[in-house]
A and B are shown apart, each in its own frame.
Chain A
Amino acid sequence: MSTTYVGVLELAAGAVLLSAVMTLWRRSVRAIVSMLRLQGVALSVVAVDLALHEHEHALLATGALVLVVKGVAIPALLRRIAQRDPRSRESRPLVNVPASLVFAAALIVLSYVVGTRITALAPSVVTNLAPLGLATVLVGYFMLVTRRHAVSKIVGLILVDNGIALMTFLLTSGVPLIVELGASLDVLLVVVVLQFLMVSMRHHSATDRLTEMKALHD
């Protein structure tokens, strides 16, 4: 029982980070969105696995919420954007793909260095996985900084959020449900808002200005 529980947890937490790194590797928006769906499902597996082991009903509800919001709703929204967008490829990243993967490896090492300072407070098989969440957060930031496509920026934002959620589950077995509920809804709304902005901008001006963004400056 116990070994299955830990095995599932390690596998799912590893899948969260792996799918984050894969979003750096793949270029087509469709493939990136699939990775994000995989990540959402893996994240909810982490929550459910922990909930079943620790008999936490609130965390079980959180796991269901994560599955609906991050495994289904957000990927579906992004997929709709990708279908409308004819040029749905990350064509010109500021850092090319092989270099990005090297950076990702460095970020994973960094998050283990920093993460052990956090997990030292209560080392256990569960909390020791927390650096995986931190690494996901850092990969998300890297994506935000180095990718130009609007959808990639949204994906970066979601990676940051998923990484934080993973850390939350592993370190605290979930923050109080009301906070988790609010946080998930906020993320969903942010994605809706960003999608709406993208569509409005495309309607508004003939050119795809998302990659330019140079009207405002000092």
Chain B
Amino acid sequence: MLILAILVTSLTATGIAAALTWRPWIGWMTAASSAVVLGLGVGLSVTSLSGPQWALHHSLRADSLSAFMVVVIGAVSLLATAFTSRTMHQELTSGVTTTRYARHYVVLTQVFITCMLSAVLTANLGVLWVSIEATTIATTFLVSHRRTDGAFEASWKYVILCSVGIALAFLGTVLIYYAQLHTSGVAHHASLDWTTVMSAAHHLDPRVTRIAFALLVVGYGTKVGLAPLHSWLPDAHSQAPAPVSALMSGVLLSVAFYGLLRFRAVAVAALGPAFPRALLLVVGLVSLLLATVMLIAQRDLKRMLAYSSIEHMGLLAIGAAVGTPLAIAAVLLHILGHGVTKSVMFLSAGEISHAQGTTEISRITALLARQPTLGGIFGFGLLSLVALPPFSLFVSELNMARAEVDAGLWWAVAISLVCLAVIFAALARHARQMLLGGAADVPPTALPTALPASLTTLLVGALVACVVLGLLTWPLQSLLVHAAQTVTP
């Protein structure tokens, strides 16, 4: 029931937005729909603790992991859609967009969110692939929404790279199915249903499964933003409107990562832990190193946030490589903490660049003096992003490191810590420039476009939620443990 309610809510909002011409209330309506999805997701999390739920003749399925992902999608899309009306108002008044494109924007955002929901709620690993590929199509026009040369270039690269990348994931999925067809006992009812695949996983042919998993890691890894096929990410994130960047960075990457988590469980069952671990460690560490290098000399605010996403996705891959229940639980908490924090960062960066007319770090000055509230939110968001206590990212990174040490991967922890320290220094330097730099030259007057109280409250509330999750994980503890168990054999 809850599963259907979630999808119907999202689809209804899509339908209303498609049927009517753009009005500001439509933006608020989509925010309300996201809030309902979040609420239903929490409900689903509670019911899923007592076992997986099914709907529509077993074509939809929700275990604790799916329910948790619905909560993440709901939370991030609530933040992003709450900014729809404001973003469209800004763009309409400055002539960047027209009411026609504003309508496209709302409809595509809703389609995008619905595709992500269907990706985590489907019972079928093939439909999971179809849903994730469909998000590419929906987001292309969101990336090119501003219709500048840069925006078109970013969306062109995005479609090409993500489509060819994810094609590999399809081949991997097909090979898993092929391996099942030739596994004694399951051959006659082989399917891509999660439960069937998992029940056959122990007997899958190791040679084929190994090739399949490598293809899946590169394929879904493209969409996650992992090296070597990450190069679409900074372009797309920097060209898209801020709420879209928030959605892409906050949840789209994690939804693709969710696909990897599921297939990792299949691969571990068929091959044992060594091969999946080695593969995920390599892509994770390479992504982390690459993000570190690119963050040091970064000159653009939104690209800085994009590379920070690659950093966090690298950390997730390293955490998943360990694959113990503790590590996976920490990975999931990290997904939530990163999703919420990164959305706050992209949304406030959107406000900053709108007010100051640039995304160049060196030209953004004296934020704290000129826009104290926004500067404060941005500053605290950055503290959360570099995983300082008491934010939840600190807790999840600490637990991932603990799990890595327990698994004997102390060298991976050492490399990660060095990278994180360098990233901390780099971000602190950029932040000092933006928050305090050049404060003497400009009169400390507030810029005219202050955030309305409702949106300020929402952003502050999101950061407070990160602190609460960091201090006491109890509201989530049993859900995280339960969700981690679904993908650890």
B181 at interface, CB cutoff 8 A: yes
Write out the residue numbers on chain A whose beta carbons fall within 8 Å of the beta carbon of B159.
Answer: 190, 193-194, 197
A179 contacts B153, C-beta separation under 8 Å: no
B178 contacts A172, C-beta separation under 8 Å: yes
Write out the residue numbers on chain B whose beta carbons fall within 8 Å of the beta carbon of A144.
Answer: 160, 164
B206 closest partner in A (C-beta): A121
Write out the residue numbers on chain B whose beta carbons fall within 8 Å of the beta carbon of A193.
Answer: 137, 140-141, 159
A7 at interface, CB cutoff 8 A: no
Number of residues from B at the complex interface, CB < 8 A: 51
Residues of chain B from 130 to 159 with CB closer than 8 A to chain A in the complex: 130, 133-134, 136-137, 140-141, 144, 147, 149-150, 152-157, 159
Interface of B is mostly: helix
State A122–B183 Cα separation when bound (angstroms): 10
B156 contacts A197, C-beta separation under 8 Å: yes
B182 closest partner in A (C-beta): A122
Write out the residue numbers on chain B whose beta carbons fall within 8 Å of the beta carbon of A171.
Answer: 174-175, 178
A178 contacts B127, C-beta separation under 8 Å: yes
State A153–B235 Cα separation when bound (angstroms): 19
Q: Mark A161-182, 1 if CB is under 8 A from B, else 0.
A: 1001001100110011011001
A215 at interface, CB cutoff 8 A: yes
Write out the residue numbers on chain B whose beta carbons fall within 8 Å of the beta carbon of A167.
Answer: 171, 174
Most B CB contacts (10 A, CB to CB) among A137, A167, A215 go to A215
A186 closest partner in B (C-beta): B133
Most A CB contacts (10 A, CB to CB) among B157, B164, B239 go to B164
Query: Which residue of A172, A186, A209 contacts B134 across the interface (Cβ within 8 Å)?
Result: A186
Distance in Å: Cβ of A216 to nearest Cβ of chain B: 5
B167 contacts A179, C-beta separation under 8 Å: no
Write out the residue numbers on chain A whose beta carbons fall within 8 Å of the beta carbon of B149.
Answer: 201, 204-205, 209, 215
Q: Mark A118-156, 1 if CB is under 8 A from B, else 0.
A: 101110000000000000010011001000001001001
A204 contacts B147, C-beta separation under 8 Å: yes
Write out the residue numbers on chain A whose beta carbons fall within 8 Å of the beta carbon of B130.
Answer: 179, 182-183, 186
State A136–B279 Cα separation when bound (angstroms): 26
B150 contacts A215, C-beta separation under 8 Å: yes
Distance in Å: Cβ of A181 to nearest Cβ of chain B: 8
B207 contacts A178, C-beta separation under 8 Å: no
Write out the residue numbers on chain B whose beta carbons fall within 8 Å of the beta carbon of A77.
Answer: none
B179 contacts A121, C-beta separation under 8 Å: yes
Write out the residue numbers on chain B whose beta carbons fall within 8 Å of the beta carbon of A160.
Answer: 164, 167
A2 at interface, CB cutoff 8 A: no
Distance in Å: Cβ of A68 to nearest Cβ of chain B: 18
Sampled A-B contacts (19; CB under 8 Å)? A118-B208, A118-B211, A121-B205, A153-B160, A167-B171, A175-B173, A175-B177, A175-B192, A176-B192, A178-B126, A182-B133, A182-B134, A201-B149, A213-B156, A213-B157, A216-B153, A216-B157, A218-B294, A218-B303
B residues lining the A interface (CB < 8 Å): 124, 126-127, 129-130, 133-134, 136-137, 140-141, 144, 147, 149-150, 152-157, 159-160, 163-164, 167, 170-171, 173-175, 177-179, 181-182, 191-192, 205, 207-208, 211, 234-235, 238-239, 294, 297-299, 303
A residues lining the B interface (CB < 8 Å): 114, 117-118, 120-122, 137, 140-141, 144, 150, 153, 156-157, 160-161, 164, 167-168, 171-172, 175-176, 178-179, 182-183, 186, 189-190, 193-194, 197, 200-201, 204-205, 209-210, 213, 215-216, 218
Beyond A157-B163, A178-B124, 17 additional pairs, beta carbon < 8 A? A117-B207, A118-B178, A118-B207, A121-B182, A144-B160, A160-B164, A164-B174, A167-B171, A172-B181, A176-B126, A182-B126, A183-B170, A190-B163, A194-B159, A205-B149, A216-B150, A218-B294
